[in-house]
Amino acid sequence: TGGASKITLTPSVAATPWYISAPVGTSATNVIVSYSQSTNHITPVTCTDSGNNVNWDFDVTPPVLSFTDDVEAGPVASDTITGNWGDASVKKWEYDDDGVCSTTSGDYSKTDANSIDQADETNNTKYICLYGEDALGNKDTLASAYDINIDITPPGSVAVSLITATSSSQLTVTAQTAVDSGSGLSETPYQFKRVDGETTDWVSSATLLETGLSPNTQHAYQVRVRDELGNISEYSSILYKYTLANVPSSLSVSADSIVQITATWAANSNPQGTEYYIENTNNSSSSGWVTSLFWTSSGLTCSTSYSFRVKTRNGDGAQTDFIDTVTRATDSCGGASLPSGAYSAPSVPTGGFSVSINNNESSTDRREVTLLLGAGSDTDRMAISNNPEFTNSIQEIYQSTKQWILSEYDGEKTVYIRFFTSYGQSSGTYSDTIYLGAKSIIRQIAEVPAEVVRIITETKLPEKIVDVIGKIGEVPRMIFDLFKPKQATGPILPPIEDVVKKEAPFAMRKQTEIMPVEPVESFVLGPMPEEIISLIQKLPQLGQALKDLGVSRATDVSKLVGVNLNLPGLTEVTGLSAADRGAEYILPEGVLLGQLTDAAKIRIPSDIIFARGASGLIDQNASLAIDQQGNVQQKIEVVSNQSVQLIIKPDKLARAIKGYLLFKKKRPTVFMGIVPEIMTASLFQTNGKGEQTNTEERLVVLEFYYSDPDGDGIWTADVDIPVVDGEYEIVTVIDYQDQRLEPTQMSLIVVVDPEGYIYYQKSDGQIRVEGGKVTLYWLNPETRLYEIWQARKYQQTNPQITDVTGRYSFLVPEGDYYLKVEARGYTTYYSEEFEVVNGVGVHENIELKKNNLLARYLDWKIIVILLMSAGLAYSFYRDRRSKQTISGKKY
């Protein structure tokens, strides 16, 4: 009739048939059989053959999984991976840490087989696990043969560490040794790039030999590296180098007269602008470094032999040897052979000697000008200079028109000239002046209308038009009248002789000279003090700041008393500020002095010292103060036990520059006042020329010398700041090659601040925290996210671990930052976000709190307050209870 039976079958190793037969004579026509396996839950497929026998086919075989493209043994640049799930109806895959794949379907989240390919390093060290399951629940897993190892990171950047000029046609370029922690370097890992954009082939050596170059020519190189997989680093920063100059050739000398000899030589393929140095070895005179190919030695003795030798140098200051000496005698002293005018000065032409700049124009906005010269018929040579001492000037062939370059910076410029006969006799000194700079535009606006009127009124015009034009000519006067103070009006006074006696009181007589009128007028109505004007000409940013403050004449100087002005640093004055370095520039990063181009070096103002920290990478913050007399004083603030690099470009050739670090006082005076946003550090001349350094009155902490190893005219000195905080003074003395010039002395005030420290405050004092981890975070302006400041670029460490003193300090460029301090047993400290406008030190003292909540919040004062509060509460409670007791007795 019906029913169910459970039969347990045990399979054997070999296939074993099982038979189930219905009892004979029963009316059952169908036997329904189901099968279950506890592990795979497999449902059989049933069928009946022609003999009415029931057969079962059991499917316990999982899908066959495989990798058509398995994970490659890395590192590889990318990996194409293809999985095959066979007849599985459920197809999944997942990353796995150890290659032991899970058999649980829920552990697999990825079903898109097209996303297995690996193109970056995100999943490095992980395996790929495949999971497949068929409709009957049979399942299997398969792990990849290797873990993922993608390498798309280029080798660490390298730099051109050295360029050596081995000859006038050859340079040896040396790069740093490259290292790659991934796939390893390529067999040819280096590629060099020249300044003209041409690149070399990939080469195996870190040294490049450049041949076939021109003498005294600047070349620039960069380098990049690649690994075995073709990952390429960025090009390094540019390093510049000149080839050596050729030794001059064909030196010849000729006697011009009894007192003068002219030497000429050939450039020997050196380019125009190459500097030469020729000397008269007999009287120790020389040309100095000049770019001409001749020099006249004058003031000699007749019938006397003189020897000459010449050398040259390249743009980096590398000098050649002198060529062989050539000797020549001046003309004979025999008087009969000399003309009567041999000892006479040049004859004066009609109208006199003359020199005019740009045809007597009053101003120009270009340094290149044209000189128009006038001299007599016997003038043979001339000497031109931008200074009256004619320092390093030479005699050259006279010509009536000469192209000339004015000295640097805006302001009044004077060109001086002397004329010479063929016998070396000189005229007096003649000069002309022109204004260089933006002021010329103002002058033209004021002068042109009157000039136009003069020209037009000479033309026959109708009377009414002439009258109108004449009124236009009054416009300049009307403009200037606007700035004149109005005359005060008052009551009509009697004649002065009726009020004031003709005999002046003694106190007002001229003999006393109590208040001389001329000097007072000169100060009140005169221009700014000369020292400030000099600074404005060299630093236009300072001039703009003074203009913004309304300071334009001597009487305005009082407005600056107590005001600090920040001066631009080397990065800004050379045109290398962040805004000029392109969109790719993110982190404000200084440029080493040796990496400056010649164009950048030219823009460095002369006679101003720039201070830099962080091994010469960050401009040091500076402030400028001015007193009532217009005297200027500069001050920089540095952290103790650090190093500061001082940089100066003298305006004349220097023989030596010496510095003194003097101790002034323990506690420095802090400047207070308005700080215009101009940027950072500089140093300027303060004491004038000729004054001796009075170092014996103060404690000399250190004596040091500046150096100029490459001969580019820029001198540097590295000064170690003392450990003891306080106020110091750095005095710099410049000794010039021209010994007729007095030494120049400069002064810089240095405020030394102690390093910051981490401490824990106790009731009896502070305890420094040892082992604290101080991390400085910088706001990336592109991502607007904070990241750990890259201190290595500035020769520093971040984070810093404090020692027993708890000290730390960072010297950072401009940007937004915050500090994080961690120490075992203390609550992690996060500072407020702060902005650094100029390169300054981060060295604040930071107090940490103990992790213990009671110790953090319940100091002895709070405990006393709590006890007092508890006492008062108990007192109120007791009084209330007493009142209730008394009240109860009444009822």
How much is the pLDDT for 613?
A: 72
Ranges 312-321, 328-337, 380-389, 492-501, most confident: 312-321
Band of residue 12 on the pLDDT scale cut at 50, 70, 90: low
CATH class of 160-242: mainly beta
Q: Which residues contact 489 (CB under 8 A, 6 or more apart)?
A: none
| Region of poorest pLDDT, from 47-61, 479-493, 612-626 | 479-493
Band of residue 491 on the pLDDT scale cut at 50, 70, 90: very low
Between these two residues, 171 and 873, which has the higher pLDDT value? 171
How much is the pLDDT for 142?
A: 95
> Cβ of 601: how many Cβ atoms within 10 Å?
14
Helix (H) or strand (E) holding 890: helix 860-890
Between these two residues, 665 and 868, which has the higher pLDDT value? 868
How much is the pLDDT for 316?
A: 93
* Contact (CB, 8 A) for 573 and 537: no
Instruction: Give the pLDDT mean for 107-130.
Output: 92
How much is the pLDDT for 353?
A: 92
Instruction: Give the pLDDT mean for 143-156.
Output: 93
Distance CA 239, CA 223 (A): 10
* Contact (CB, 8 A) for 565 and 760: no
pLDDT digits (tens, 9 = 90+) for 563-616: 666 677 777 777 655 444 433 333 445 566 666 776 677 778 888 888 877 556
Distance CA 550, CA 533 (A): 15
Q: How far apart are the first and last CA of the chain?
A: 96
How much is the pLDDT for 695?
A: 42
* Dihedral angle over CA of 261, 262, 268, 273, nearest 10: 130
CA 182 to chain centre: 33
- In the numeric block, which tokens belong to residue 37? 């396996």
How much is the pLDDT for 694?
A: 45
pLDDT digits (tens, 9 = 90+) for 384-412: 888 887 766 777 888 899 989 898 778 88
For residue 457, pLDDT over 50 is answered with no
How much is the pLDDT for 880?
A: 72
Q: Where are the alpha helices (DSSP H) in 839-859?
A: 853-857
Band of residue 322 on the pLDDT scale cut at 50, 70, 90: very high
Which CATH topology does 354-437 take? Immunoglobulin-like (2.60.40)
How much is the pLDDT for 500?
A: 46
- In the numeric block, which tokens belong to residue 280? 């008269």
* Percent of the chain surpassing pLDDT 90: 28
How much is the pLDDT for 590?
A: 55
Band of residue 129 on the pLDDT scale cut at 50, 70, 90: very high
**Cα–Cα distance list, 869 to 214, 857, 865, 875 (Å):** 92, 17, 6, 10
Band of residue 219 on the pLDDT scale cut at 50, 70, 90: very high
pLDDT digits (tens, 9 = 90+) for 508-542: 444 434 444 444 344 444 456 666 666 666 676 67
Give 636-670 as a DSSP string: EEEETT-EEEEEE--SS-EEEEEEEEEEEESSPPP
pLDDT digits (tens, 9 = 90+) for 255-264: 988 888 999 9
* Dihedral angle over CA of 569, 573, 576, 577, nearest 10: 60
How much is the pLDDT for 277?
A: 95
Give exposure, 545-566, as e/b (b: 16+ Cβ within 10 Å): bbeeeebeebeebeebeebbbb
Q: Which residues contact 661 (CB under 8 A, 6 or more apart)?
A: 700, 701, 702, 703, 704, 719, 722, 728, 729, 730, 750
For residue 739, pLDDT over 90 is answered with no
* Contact (CB, 8 A) for 782 and 586: yes
Q: Which CATH architecture has domain 530-753?
A: Sandwich (2.60)
For residue 240, pLDDT over 60 is answered with yes
Band of residue 507 on the pLDDT scale cut at 50, 70, 90: very low
How much is the pLDDT for 458?
A: 44
CATH class of 249-334: mainly beta
- In the numeric block, which tokens belong to residue 548? 């913004």
For residue 376, pLDDT over 80 is answered with yes
Domain limits, the chain: 66-143, 160-242, 249-334, 354-437, 448-481, 530-753, 756-857, 859-891
Between these two residues, 24 and 756, which has the higher pLDDT value? 756
Instruction: Give the pLDDT mean for 454-462.
Output: 45
The reply to whether domains 249-334 and 354-437 share a CATH topology is yes
pTM of the model: 0.41
Band of residue 552 on the pLDDT scale cut at 50, 70, 90: low
Q: Is 552 helix (H, G, I), strand (E, B) or coil?
A: coil
> Cβ of 527: how many Cβ atoms within 10 Å?
11
Band of residue 365 on the pLDDT scale cut at 50, 70, 90: confident
Distance CA 276, CA 264 (A): 11
Distance CA 258, CA 134 (A): 117
Band of residue 666 on the pLDDT scale cut at 50, 70, 90: low
Instruction: Give the pLDDT mean for 476-485.
Output: 47
Q: Is 714 helix (H, G, I), strand (E, B) or coil?
A: coil
Chain mean pLDDT for the chain? 76
Between these two residues, 759 and 21, which has the higher pLDDT value? 759
For residue 492, pLDDT over 60 is answered with no
Band of residue 98 on the pLDDT scale cut at 50, 70, 90: very high
Between these two residues, 759 and 794, which has the higher pLDDT value? 759
Quote the CATH superfamily of domain 756-857: Transthyretin/hydroxyisourate hydrolase domain (2.60.40.180)
pLDDT digits (tens, 9 = 90+) for 176-207: 999 988 889 999 999 999 877 688 999 999 99
| Region of poorest pLDDT, from 293-307, 476-490, 775-789 | 476-490
CA 761 to chain centre: 39
